[in-house]
Amino acid sequence: MDFKSLSFPDAPVIKIQPPGPRSKEYLSFQSAHESSAVSYPRGMPMALSSARGATVEDVDGNVYIDFFGGAGVMNVGHANPKVLEDVSKQLSNLTHSLDFPNEPRKALIDTLFSLFPDPLKRVLFGGPTGSDAVEAAVKLAKYNTHRHPLISFEGAYHGMSSGALSLSSGLSFKEDFLPLIPEVHFAPYAYCYRCAFGKTSESCDLECVKYIEHILEDPHSGVGKPAAIIVEAIQGEGGSIIPPEKFLTGIRKACDKNNVIMIVDEIQAGLGRTGKMFAFEHSGIVPDIITLSKGLGGLGFPISCIAYKEKLDTLPPGKHIGTFRGNVIAYTAGAAALRFMIENNLAEHSFNLGEKMLSWLKDIEKDSSIVGEARGRGLMLGIELVKDKASKEPAPDLAQKVRTICHQHGLLVEIGGHYSNVVRFLPPLVLTEELAKKGIEIFADSIREVDEEQ
């Protein structure tokens, strides 16, 4: 399929500097009536009216190239016609099902199982958000091991509900709400640009993996034997961090040796984003439990699930329940989206286009004094901004400026990273090379402008 027809033609179109007058009205209504916790419209002030493919329109008629993708949700593109067709047929039949079986649910499960590696044999649909899936994964691990400690990673983001927040490392998210769940321990992730062990790519001997082995095996590590280690195969909110291939393999081995459950959180990196259907496939391991959400609902319909090995299927009936574990529209959209991904080799497209975009970003890195590192796999890309390339002092203020300039010129981007200094791209996977090029040009201009101000 030619993905070009999925997006608005001629993007970007900036008719009036955002936020335009109609956006301003919505934004002032929002600030008068909604919680002060609202966040995205502060960085990209606008009100939305419609979206197609890899493009988004605001209420003032500005059309943006979307490298944000609704925070990595819109893998098959906004308003994907194949998904919409199935959804509109389903809407008048059945929409809510708790956990009663039905055809769309079966179709989604069938499609997922055609994609999972063999040992993942069971799925559990819980609440609709990614955080719900993380809670379910942790409960399943605890129930099976009768243990409580958990190991997570520096830079991890697993969600906002108490259990998921406990496993997320960002202190600003959690320090006002302590105590959360106890006995969660954090180990350094393979963040090679800022290696916690002071190593370089030449001197690296996978010290981060050795440290995990040490925690698990030294009787004086102070960490009780964990129920599970939870890890993102590629860290998302932590700053699009790509670990060396052997990182996950090493954790898999340490889990096997010490009889610890390995949970891989695929909520952001899964479903084609990194060039494989699941990001753990890059390292050839099979986790014991995976979490899925975001792109699973096709067009942003809320749904999440975990998938796990048969031997873990021990929960008695009713042990993990919830009203919204049966949104039939989300199943319908999810099955249609997965079919679209398979039929159009979307993971491969994501990998190939991502490689091209990364090479353009590497050129920007070379020319700029504020780009410390451009990195990524598939269409999960990150550009880490620094005040100085030698000291690597993080530059969160510059990342904000870059996002503002990009927005004003018709490009939506995300910001993440340990220091909120990583500009992140998570576009719909139906992004075309033409739109990718235009988007990167806007980004390159914004970097140049901010660089020159320094």
Ligand X SMILES: Cc1ncc(COP(=O)(O)O)c(C=O)c1O
State which residue, 86 or 237, has the beta carbon closest to ligand X.
237
Spatial separation of the C-alpha atoms in residues 374 and 422, rounded to whole Å: 9
Of 154-162, 321-329, 365-373, 445-453: span binding ligand X (CB under 6 A)? 154-162
CB of 162 to ligand X, least distance (A): 12
- What are the two backbone dihedrals, phi and then psi, of residue 46, each rounded to the nearest 5 degrees? -175, 160
Cα 305 to its chain centre, rounded Å, is 15
CB of 68 to ligand X, least distance (A): 12
Alpha carbon distance, N-terminus to C-terminus of the chain: 44
Using CB under 6 A, which residues numbered 281 to 310 contact ligand X? 293
Q: At 61, is the secondary structure helix, strand, or coil?
A: coil
Using CB under 6 A as the binding rule, whether residue 130 contacts ligand X is answered as yes
Of 106-114, 128-136, 181-189, 337-345: span binding ligand X (CB under 6 A)? 128-136
Spatial separation of the C-alpha atoms in residues 298 and 150, rounded to whole Å: 31
Which residue of 265, 288, 384, 414 would you call a contact of ligand X, by CB under 6 A?
Answer: 265
State which residue, 71 or 79, has the beta carbon closest to ligand X.
71
Could you tell me how many residues of this chain bind ligand X (CB under 6 A)?
A: 15
State which residue, 163 or 326, has the beta carbon closest to ligand X.
163
Spatial separation of the C-alpha atoms in residues 266 and 314, rounded to whole Å: 22
Spatial separation of the C-alpha atoms in residues 386 and 392, rounded to whole Å: 5
Using CB under 6 A as the binding rule, whether residue 446 contacts ligand X is answered as no
Using CB under 6 A as the binding rule, whether residue 422 contacts ligand X is answered as no
Q: What is the DSSP string of 364-383?
A: HHHH-SSEEEEEEETTEEEE
Q: Which residues of 1-19 are buried (b: 16+ CB within 10 A; e: fewer)?
A: eebeebbbeebbebeeebb
Q: Identify how many contiguous H helices and E strands the chain contains and give both numbers.
A: 14, 15
Using CB under 6 A as the binding rule, whether residue 129 contacts ligand X is answered as yes
CB of 301 to ligand X, least distance (A): 12
CB of 89 to ligand X, least distance (A): 27
- The single-letter DSSP state of residue 197 is T
Strands 414-416, 228-232: parallel, antiparallel or unpaired by DSSP? unpaired
Of 115-123, 171-179, 264-272, 389-397: span binding ligand X (CB under 6 A)? 264-272
Using CB under 6 A as the binding rule, whether residue 157 contacts ligand X is answered as yes
Using CB under 6 A, which residues numbered 220 to 249 contact ligand X? 232, 236-237
Q: Which two tokens stand for residue 298?
A: 């096709």
CB of 317 to ligand X, least distance (A): 26
Of 126-134, 206-214, 306-314, 445-453: span binding ligand X (CB under 6 A)? 126-134
Using CB under 6 A as the binding rule, whether residue 134 contacts ligand X is answered as yes
Using CB under 6 A as the binding rule, whether residue 414 contacts ligand X is answered as no
CA-closest candidate to residue 46, choices 16, 11, 67 = 16
CB of 416 to ligand X, least distance (A): 9
Interface positions with ligand X (CB under 6 A): 71, 129-131, 134, 157-159, 232, 236-237, 265, 267-268, 293
